[in-house]
Amino acid sequence: MADRRISVSAEGSGTSRLPGNEGGMHGLHLEIAHDWMVMTHGYVWGVYTDQSGPRGDDKTYVQSMAMLTAERSFEGGRFQFKSMFSLEPLMSNRGYPSLFAIGETAGGEPLVDRQHPHDLFMELAARIDIDVASGSSLYLYGGPVGEPALGPSAFMHRGSAKLNPEAPITHHWFDSSHITYGVATLGFSSEKFQVEASLFTGREPDEDRWNIEKPRFDSWSLRAAFTPSPDWAIQVSHGFLKQPEFTIHPDENEHRTTASAHYANGNGLTATAAFSAKNRDPGPTLTAYLLEANWDIDDHHSVFGRFENVKNDELFPDDLSPLHEVPFRVSKFQAGYAYRLPLTGPLNLALGGSASAFAKPNALDAAYGKSPLGFTLFAKLSIGH
C-alpha cells in the first residue's frame, strides 16, 4: 500500500501531499532495531539581505531547521512520529527585512516589512494509518504542535522554494498555520485522492518563541487533494480560524479558502501555483496569488523564481495614519541562482543570491520609494537537498 501511494504522491508538511516525483523528504535515513526507520533532515542558512527605500533595511541572519521522524509499519497499518525544531528564536523577534511582508508582532507592535522568526517547536506530532482496502487507509494525525489540513504544503517543504531564502510575502494567506499549537486531523487516503478534516487552534504563535502554547481547538478546516500522476498534486481547502492575529485584530475571525497545484517532472523542475482568499469576519476579503519554480539545470546549477500578488490592508498599522486599513494590491518579482556543491554523504552546500522588484500603487511612493528593490546573498548547508 505505501509503495503505491508514494509512487503517485509524496508527503509534504503536516499531512499535505506533493507530487510523487519530488520524492519524500531528502535526508539521512537509518534503520534501527524493531523495524523502525528514522530520518533526519535539516539546514543552517546564512543570509544577508538588503531591502531599499525609506522602509528598507539590511541584515545578516541565520535560518535553521532540524527534522527527525521515526516510522514503523505493522500488520494493517503504519505509525509515524514527526518532530521539527528551529533555533531562529535566537534571532530578534523583529526577524529580518522583507518589504511588504506582514503578520505577527514584536514588542506588542505589528510587524510590517519584516518576516518573523520561527518558533523552537515547529512540529511535535504523530500519525497512525490503518489500512481499510487495497491502496487506501484511514489516518489520524495530531499533537501539541502540528499543521492542520489547510493550504498547500508549507513553503520550506516545497521543492519549488527549496533554494529561495525568503519567505513569501503571502505567507499569512497560504501557510501561516504550519506551526499550530494543538492539531487533530482525521482523513482518508487512497492512491490518487485524499480528504481530511482538522480541529486546531486558530490563534497564531505569540512572541514567546521558546515555549509550547496552550491548545484551544477552536477552529476547523477541510481539505481535498488529488494526485493524478507523479507529476501533479492539486489541493483545495477551506478553514475557519478564530482570532488568528489576536494582538493585531482581537475581534476578527477569518475564513480562508485556498487552491494550489504543484508540479514536478522528475528531471529537476518543480513549480507551484496557488490562490488564497482571506475573509475577515468582520472585515474585507483579501486575495493573494503565488507562482514559484525551481529548476536544477544539472548537478550544480539551479535557478529559481517567485511571483506574488496580494491585496494587503496592514501596511499602515498606526491608527492615526490616513492609510490605516486601506487595502493596497502589490506584487513582488524575485529571481535567483544557486551553485550546489555536494560535500560528503548527505551533506550539501548551496551558494547563491536573488534580486527582487516590486509593483505598487503610486500612493505608496512616500513610504517605499518609487522603485524599491531587494537583494539577498546566502549559503545553505543542508542534510539532503
Write the DSSP string, 90-139. GS-TT-EEEEEEEEEEETTEEEEEEEPPPPSEEEEEEEEEEEEETTEEEE
Beta bridge partners of 19: 9
pLDDT at 7 > cutoff 80: no
Confidence at residue 25, expressed as pLDDT on a 0 to 100 scale: 64
- Helical (H) or strand (E) element with 349: strand 347-359
What is the spatial distance between Cα 227 and Cα 326, in angstroms, rounded to a whole number?
39
Q: Determine the Cα–Cα distance for residues 169 and 167; give it in Å rounded to an integer.
A: 6
What pLDDT shows up at residue 27? 73
Q: What is the pLDDT of residues 253-292, one digit of tens each?
A: 999 999 999 999 999 999 999 999 999 998 899 999 999 9
Mean pLDDT to the nearest integer, 327-346:
95
Q: What are the backbone dihedrals phi and psi of residue 89, each rounded to the nearest 5 degrees, phi first? A: -60, -15
CB 333 within 8 A of CB 356: yes
Mean pLDDT, residues 63-90 taken together: 94
| pLDDT for residue 283 | 85
Burial of 195 (0-12, 13-18, 19+ CB in 10 A): middle
Residues 217 and 198: beta-carbon distance below 8 Å: no
pLDDT at 23: 77
Q: Smallest Cα–Cα separation from 99: which of 303, 376, 289, 318? A: 376
Mean pLDDT over 41-61 rounds to 96
The model's pLDDT over 154-171, given as tens digits with 9 standing for 90+, comes to 999 999 999 999 999 999
pLDDT given for residue 344 in this prediction: 87
Tell me the pLDDT tens digit for each residue of 175-189.
Answer: 999 999 999 999 999
Look-up: residue for cell 501557510?
Answer: 175
Across 121-148, average pLDDT: 96
Q: Please check the confidence at residue 332 and state whether its pLDDT lies above 60.
A: yes
Q: Is 34 exposed, middle or buried (0-12, 13-18, 19+ CB in 10 A)?
A: exposed
Q: What pLDDT score was predicted for residue 181?
A: 97
> What are the beta bridge partners of residue 258?
237, 276
Average pLDDT, the chain: 93
- Pick 66 or 8 by higher pLDDT: 66
pLDDT at 246: 86
pTM of the model: 0.93
pLDDT surpasses 50 at 1: no
**Helix, strand, coil percentages for the chain (3-state, nearest 5):** 10, 55, 35
**Phi (first) and psi of residue 53, to 5 degrees:** 90, 170
Per the listing, cell 505608496 goes with 364
> Which residues, in sequence order, are CB contacts of 227 under 8 Å at separation 6+?
8, 9, 17, 19, 20, 191, 192, 193, 194, 233, 234
C-alpha 6/C-alpha 197 separation (Å) is 21
* Three-state secondary structure string covering 215-265: CCCCEEEEEEEEEEECCEEEEEEEEEECCCCCCCCCCCEEEEEEEEEEEEC
Domain count, the chain: 1
Amino acid letter for position 208 = D
Around 126, how many Cα atoms within 13 Å sit in the side-chain half-sphere? 5
Residue 6 has pLDDT above 70, yes or no: no
Is residue 224 within 8 A of residue 235, CB to CB? The reply is yes
State the Cα–Cα distance between residues 342 and 323, nearest whole angstrom: 49
What is the span of the domain harbouring residue 288?
Answer: 2-383
357 has a pLDDT exceeding 90: yes
Task: Tell me what the mean pLDDT of segment 87-105 comes to.
Answer: 93
pLDDT at position 35 is: 84
Q: How far apart are CA 184 and CA 145, in angstroms?
A: 10
Averaged pLDDT, 115-130: 96
* Residue 8 pLDDT exceeds 50: yes
Distance CA 165, CA 353 (A): 8
| Residue 52: CATH number of its domain | 2.40.160.10
pLDDT of amino acid 135: 87
Cell numbers standing for residue 338: 544557486
* Between residues 245 and 308, the one the model is more confident about: 308
- pLDDT above 70: residue 24: no
